Structure 1
Amino acid sequence: MLLTITTTHSPATDLGFVLMKHPDRTLERPLPFGKSLVFYPEATPERTTAALLVEVDPVALSRAPAGGESGTLEPYVNDRPYASGSFLSVALRDAFGTAMTGQSRDRPELAAMPLPLILTLPCVAARGQTDLPERLFGPLGYEVGVQAIPLDALYPEWGERPYVTLTLRGTVRVADALRHLYVLLPVLDGKKHYYVGEAEVDKLLRHGQDWLDTHPERDLIAARYLRFRGLVAQAQARLTDQQTDPQDASDAESSADTPVILPPRVHDARLDAVAALLEQTGARRVLDLGCGEGKLLRRLLRSPQFRELVGVDLSARSLEIAAERLKLDERPELRDRVTLLHGSLAYPDSRLRGFDAAALVEVIEHLEPHRLTALTDNVLGHARPGTLIVTTPNREYNATFEEARTLRHADHRFEWTRAEFQAWAQAAAEQYGYAVTFQDLGDVHPEYGPITQLALFQQTPVA
């Protein structure tokens, strides 16, 4: 895989001072997955090009395939060594780490100056809609050129995507250009070759500083870069804190539980409706299962009816944020009313038994389908709240979006039609001794139904 950086700044050879790599030398560096070479195919005062060539060892990859790969041939036959993505991103940081900080020992004023640049990547993995490169790089000031690459020139019917030749033209600081590539190449690919943990949140925010928080595709970038709901929630919370005061931040959207393509107030309206419905049930002790950052709990706290509120989430960081947003340390009067528990709904938990009501707001679609049976058994069969409210997206409504998608959010594992949701809910209600009714939430399309669907489970009296 290859990246070239070309400038016509005069003298163009000053690019070497900014990249901290001499045009007359070739630099070879070992990498955990192969090696990289930095060299200059052209270096004149009028035009200079620096190239980063990354050679990935496919044999090493076959011995330790990425976590998301599967099947008998995939570890051996894949695009990882050839299409630019996270491998090139790592090599970029290794080769040009100093340049990415915006520092230059000999030309500090040049490192701080926007330069005319042409960034060329002959083969990039761009998985998603065809306009994704433009949506990611266009708002950053680049003129984006995309040329689709056929999978096989002899068999054009095989199609072109997801590989493109990407050319970016713009007048930007070299450090900014490198950081844009570092973050957005894995976003374009939608995959990473290494484990994605909490350190990736810091990495995203550090290299996205000064541009990510105002990017119109911020939520999409965070979702594709971090992949996991809890990590995306952390990034969104920290970005929100940078932009708003604490009161506003507590109402801000989180891509962990808000689909990327929905209007920003849909999530608020959904939570308001669930809070109102819980109040109508007369419940006094309520569970918020998958509570995230405590947005539903915050609404329930406004009503003195709710004497005991318990939030449960798998993400310890989300619970920390919830405690901060609810100001539990500052308001001792809330300690008897609110409890936050770290736990998984995939396992029985005796702490969750005996509550008047429980809510699963936009949670089930984040589970792998084979885990849904365990959740249903643990909530309706073991915890057995008197009332359970479940909300989930209506897949049929997706057809109304301008940018149609199979799933609304990168972390959704499935989405149900109205018939599929009702079939699941009715079977679960019959199995565990509940009656179930259904409601529409939010906008309702005359053909495709509501944007969000809700099931209300209520225990039936024992004969």
Structure 2
Amino acid sequence: MLLTISTTHRPATDLGYLLHKHPDRVQEFAQSFGTATVLYPEASEERCTAALLLEVDPVRLARRRGRETPDFSLAQYVNDRSYAASSLLGVALADVFSTARSGICKARPELAEQALPLEIAIPVLPCRGGAEIARRLFEPLGWRVDAEPIPLDEGFPAWGASRYLRLTLHGELRLADALSQLHVLLPVLDESKHYWQGPDEVDKLLRSGGAWLAAHPDRTLITRRYLGRRGGLTRLALARLAELDDTELDDTGPDAEVGEEEVLQPEERRVPLNRQRHEAVLAAIAELGARSVIDLGCGPGQLLDRLLKAPGIERVAGCDVSTRSLQYAARRLHVDRMSERQAGRLELFQGALTYEDPRFAGYDVAVLMEVVEHVDPPRLPALERVVFGAARPGAVLVTTPNRDYNVLYEGLTGRRHPDHRFEWDRAEFADWCARVAATHGYAVEHRGVGDVDGTHGSPTQLAVFTRKENADD
């Protein structure tokens, strides 16, 4: 299979820095199922194209079959493996471009965070559901999708189209986001992910999906296809995604196709923890009588949407380090259709919470909802200084997972989200809050969010910091 990534960003050869592959070299990468080759068919200041060519070795693929892998009998030796090749292309892409997919570029760090004009083309791609499915999956992510069905036989047009597409995507995204989306959606398109999946597959999906999957209108379809109809893993993934968005866990629709025993009855359905967090934060904001609120690390804008509808709040701001998340937020809030008065109440801007920024200051309440655990521990003092020391809002609301509660999550073997740098237990969070409050002149109150367990507490911890009147200097 062949995949090409092109850009017209000037200079276009910066693509080589982002992919960590030099345009002047042809590089081969051995895979357990074949060979992946990276080369540049064109590399000029105006346009640069990187090509990933995957050659699948069916014999090597068959010989690597583990003891637990089902025996496909003679089918494992069939040379035409196009039905599985796109899934393997996703695996090769994740391996060959692993550093680029993580968003790391020491040579051009500012470029790694920049949305670039990208064109991604796959000349032959199996797609169950045809062009409509390709558009459903990619258009909500900001891509312009050209999906041309390939005839079953050009000599016999009456036979109609095959299940293969010529797919071309155009858009402005961070390269890391584009690669992560491809890694997830390539096996979703062909729905034939023929390699062994373990319990850590849910973590892999969440690590690659991040915020874009939680906000995707077809996340149930994506999750089910990615996990290969394994109902238990699908339910676990959807439950964890529900914590990242304000939607009910829904795996009972036409795209779910889970076993009858997996379906929750209406009386068993619970309000998603993420919604409970939002309700707790909004209640605290109302208690404080805030008229202006800034959401630091606003993500795709769930809380901003609620704040704009809350009575008494006259000014709302959302800040995030990810331009893609801000684009999602603008779309969710329908910024393009806002009246002048409504638009005057809202400000969205990009910023890093570890660097002082005058735009952070001047608000009654600042919210750090599920943010601190995404910050590397050595960077936390910088965040504390920026938020509590420089911006100094009247109150700061901080929510973070309670690690004590993790033992109650079935199937959870590590942290709740792959991007979490740490998770505090209740004692660790209390110590951090006490130190920050004493250092910067705040009082702090602790609350729990979610179902309370007598031994392990609540799943989410909420701290309400209020600035002391005599600590304004």
2:212 counterpart (210, 216, 234) = 234
Within 5 A, what are the aligned runs for 1:88-167? 94-96=53-55, 119-120=61-62, 122=64, 145-146=66-67
Matched, 1:349 2:389: no
Aligned residues of 2:400 and 2:462 also touching (Cα < 8 A): yes
Matched, 1:272 2:214: no
Matched, 1:375 2:317: no
1:301–1:168 Cα change, 3 Å: farther
Aligned residues of 2:365 and 2:393 also touching (Cα < 8 A): yes
Aligned residues of 1:311 and 1:341 also touching (Cα < 8 A): yes
- 3-state SS of paired residue (1:425): helix
Q: Name which of structure 1's ranges 404-413 and 166-175 shifts more when overlaid on structure 2.
A: 166-175
Rg larger in structure: 1
1:306 counterpart (308, 313, 317) = 313
> AA paired with 1:178?
A
1:424 counterpart (396, 419, 432) = 432
1:406–1:222 Cα change, 3 Å: closer
- Superposition deviation, residue 268 in structure 1: 1.7
- 3-state SS of paired residue (2:344): coil
Matched, 1:52 2:34: yes
Report the equivalent of 1:406: 414
Aligned residues of 2:298 and 2:319 also touching (Cα < 8 A): yes
1:384–1:121 Cα change, 3 Å: farther
> AA paired with 2:344?
D
Provide the C-alpha distance between the structure 2 equivalents of 1:168 and 1:255, rounded to a whole number of angstroms.
Answer: 33
1:457 counterpart (438, 446, 465) = 465
Aligned residues of 1:429 and 1:457 also touching (Cα < 8 A): yes
1:195–1:365 Cα change, 3 Å: same
Report the equivalent of 1:386: 394
- Superposition deviation, residue 37 in structure 1: 10
Report the equivalent of 1:220: 203
1:424–1:201 Cα change, 3 Å: same
Q: Name which of structure 1's ranges 328-337 and 369-378 shifts more when overlaid on structure 2.
A: 328-337
> AA paired with 1:298?
D
1:235–1:389 Cα change, 3 Å: same
> AA paired with 1:192?
S
The alignment's TM-score, normalised by the length of structure 1, stands at 0.59
Report the equivalent of 2:366: 358
1:209–1:403 Cα change, 3 Å: closer
Provide the C-alpha distance between the structure 2 equivalents of 1:425 and 1:146, rounded to a whole number of angstroms.
Answer: 50
Aligned residues of 1:313 and 1:319 also touching (Cα < 8 A): yes
> AA paired with 1:376?
E
Q: Name which of structure 1's ranges 345-354 and 267-276 shifts more when overlaid on structure 2.
A: 267-276
Provide the C-alpha distance between the structure 2 equivalents of 1:180 and 1:361, rounded to a whole number of angstroms.
Answer: 35
Matched, 1:443 2:451: yes
1:35–1:209 Cα change, 3 Å: closer
1:117–1:450 Cα change, 3 Å: farther
- Superposition deviation, residue 359 in structure 1: 0.6
Aligned residues of 2:369 and 2:399 also touching (Cα < 8 A): yes
Provide the C-alpha distance between the structure 2 equivalents of 1:238 and 1:398, rounded to a whole number of angstroms.
Answer: 26
1:284–1:420 Cα change, 3 Å: same
- 3-state SS of paired residue (1:268): helix
Post-superposition Cα deviations, 1:51-93, rounded to whole Å, max 9, x if no partner, equal 736799xxxxxxxxxxxxxxxxxxxxxxxxxxxxxxxxx99x6
- Superposition deviation, residue 419 in structure 1: 0.3
Report the equivalent of 2:338: 331
Provide the C-alpha distance between the structure 2 equivalents of 1:462 and 1:213, rounded to a whole number of angstroms.
Answer: 64
Provide the C-alpha distance between the structure 2 equivalents of 1:457 and 1:410, rounded to a whole number of angstroms.
Answer: 28
- 3-state SS of paired residue (2:62): strand
Provide the C-alpha distance between the structure 2 equivalents of 1:53 and 1:359, rounded to a whole number of angstroms.
Answer: 48
Post-superposition Cα deviations, 1:105-124, rounded to whole Å, max 9, x if no partner, equal xxxxxxxxxxx9994363xx
Within 5 A, what are the aligned runs for 1:159-198? 169=72, 174-184=81-91, 192=98, 194-196=100-102, 197-198=176-177
Aligned residues of 2:93 and 2:183 also touching (Cα < 8 A): no
1:301–1:413 Cα change, 3 Å: same
Within 5 A, what are the aligned runs for 1:278-289? 278-289=285-296
Post-superposition Cα deviations, 1:172-215, rounded to whole Å, max 9, x if no partner, equal 9933412223335787x899355541330442355134367999
Provide the C-alpha distance between the structure 2 equivalents of 1:342 and 1:207, rounded to a whole number of angstroms.
Answer: 30
Provide the C-alpha distance between the structure 2 equivalents of 1:420 and 1:206, rounded to a whole number of angstroms.
Answer: 38
1:32–1:437 Cα change, 3 Å: farther
> AA paired with 1:237?
A
Aligned residues of 2:437 and 2:444 also touching (Cα < 8 A): yes
Report the equivalent of 2:189: 210
- Superposition deviation, residue 96 in structure 1: 4.0
Aligned residues of 2:34 and 2:55 also touching (Cα < 8 A): no
- Superposition deviation, residue 237 in structure 1: 3.4
Aligned residues of 1:232 and 1:255 also touching (Cα < 8 A): no
- Superposition deviation, residue 32 in structure 1: 4.7
Post-superposition Cα deviations, 1:155-184, rounded to whole Å, max 9, x if no partner, equal xxxxxxxxxxx6774979933412223335
Q: Which runs of 4+ in 1 moved over 4 A?
A: 30-33, 35-38, 53-56, 116-119, 144-147, 170-173, 184-187, 211-219, 241-244, 252-257
- 3-state SS of paired residue (2:405): helix
> AA paired with 1:382?
A
- 3-state SS of paired residue (2:399): strand
Aligned residues of 1:288 and 1:312 also touching (Cα < 8 A): yes
> AA paired with 2:211?
A
> AA paired with 1:120?
A
- 3-state SS of paired residue (2:347): strand
Aligned residues of 2:239 and 2:249 also touching (Cα < 8 A): no
Higher share in helix: 2
1:440–1:282 Cα change, 3 Å: same
Aligned residues of 2:300 and 2:329 also touching (Cα < 8 A): yes
- Superposition deviation, residue 334 in structure 1: 1.8
> AA paired with 1:198?
D
- Superposition deviation, residue 448 in structure 1: 1.1
- 3-state SS of paired residue (2:404): helix
1:325–1:117 Cα change, 3 Å: farther
- 3-state SS of paired residue (2:458): strand
The alignment's TM-score, normalised by the length of structure 2, stands at 0.57
Report the equivalent of 1:112: none
> AA paired with 2:85?
L
Percent identity of the aligned residues?
34
